[in-house]
Amino acid sequence: MANSRKPMEPGSLVKERRLNAVAGSEQVAVPDPDRLIHLQFRRFAGCPVCNLHLRSVVRRHREIEAAGVREVVVFHSPAEELLRHTTDLPFPVVADPAKRLYTEFGVERSPRALLSPRVWGAIVWAVVSGAWKVVRGREHLPSSSPIGGRLGLPADFLIAHDGQVLACKYGEHAYDQWSVDELLELAARVQHTPPAHPGSLGDRNPPSAPEVQE
């Protein structure tokens, strides 16, 4: 089912807010006054292809930080479920089971999330590698009935200090997101490019979303 809100685009403005991370008492400022924010929307806690992608982000997290980018990852699962799967991640994870942020940013769900042939190879590899990690106790199996379902699509947003969306990507299947190399290239490019004039998202002044609570 597609969201009714028009998706973000480069030049759209994101209102200031603080999001509650599931681990500890940290509140994450979006936008960040000191760094770019890479706000990425994943699917459900324990999602095999999400874990596969996030492992690549973890391996190169120091590079991402050195590029002046802060990772913030959103899932449509409750905080208590996410804690079983994300406690070892070196960046904040936000629970949004009510999908308020998903709606605001126009992140959709669709059967093509899993039916696109382009995702099948990633699913197979994610399940095989994830099963080995589960056996070794390094990962946990996802819920058999995840909140928000299994048809979510990923999305990526690179957000400037003033809340302007510098770049974004709406995934066409469950493993369609920026690679770390693409993120670093975008960050380098936008930090050496004069800011564009703010674009539009509805009336160019989207309402501030409430904090996402645990």
Q: Is the pLDDT of residue 168 over 90?
A: yes
5 in a domain, yes or no? no
What SS3 state is found at 39?
Answer: strand
The closest of 92, 56, 12, 64 to 186, measured between CA atoms, is 64
- Residue 24: φ, ψ to 5°: 75, -155
Residue 210 pLDDT > 50, yes or no?
no
The answer to the question of residue 201 being in a domain is no
The CA-based dihedral angle spanning residues 46, 105, 33, 62, taken in that order and rounded to the nearest 10 degrees:
30
What is the structure's pLDDT at 18?
A: 96
Residue 117, CA atoms < 13 Å, CB-side half-sphere = 0
Q: pLDDT at position 96, please?
A: 96
Provide the β-strand partners of residue 104.
Answer: none
pTM above 0.75, yes or no: yes
> For the CA atoms of the chain, what is the radius of gyration?
16
Label each residue of 58-75 as H, E or C: HHCHHHHHHCCEEEEEEE
CB atoms inside a 10 Å sphere around CB 199: 14
Q: Answer yes or no: is pLDDT of 3 > 70.
A: no
Q: What average pLDDT does the structure give for the chain?
A: 82
**The residue type at 98:** A
Query: What's the confidence (pLDDT) of residue 133?
Result: 57
Q: Is 4 a domain residue?
A: no
Q: For residues 131 and 118, is the Cβ–Cβ distance under 8 A? A: no
**Within its chain, how far is the Cα of 94 from the centroid?**
9
DSSP run (H or E) holding 175: none
Residue at 204 is within a domain: no
**pLDDT tens figures, 108-162:** 988 878 888 888 778 786 776 655 454 445 555 555 566 777 789 999 999 999 9
- Pairing type for strands 93-95 and 165-170 reads unpaired
Domain that holds residue 109: 17-190
CA distance 64 to 153: 23
Kindly report, residue by residue over 77-104, the tens digit of the pLDDT.
Answer: 999 999 888 888 999 999 999 999 999 9
pLDDT at 69: 98
Q: What is the CATH number of the domain that holds 80?
A: 3.40.30.10
User: What length is written for the chain?
Assistant: 214
Report which of 101, 43, 92 is spatially closest to residue 72, judged by C-alpha positions. 92
Residue 199 lies in a domain: no
Please indicate, yes or no, if residue 149 is contained in any of the structural domains.
yes
Q: Which is it for the CA torsion 108, 156, 119, 54, positive or negative? A: negative
Assess whether pLDDT exceeds 50 at residue 202.
no
Least confident of 48-52, 179-183, 204-208: 204-208
The number of folded domains in the chain is: 1
Give pLDDT, residue 104. Answer: 95
Q: Is 8 inside any structural domain?
A: no
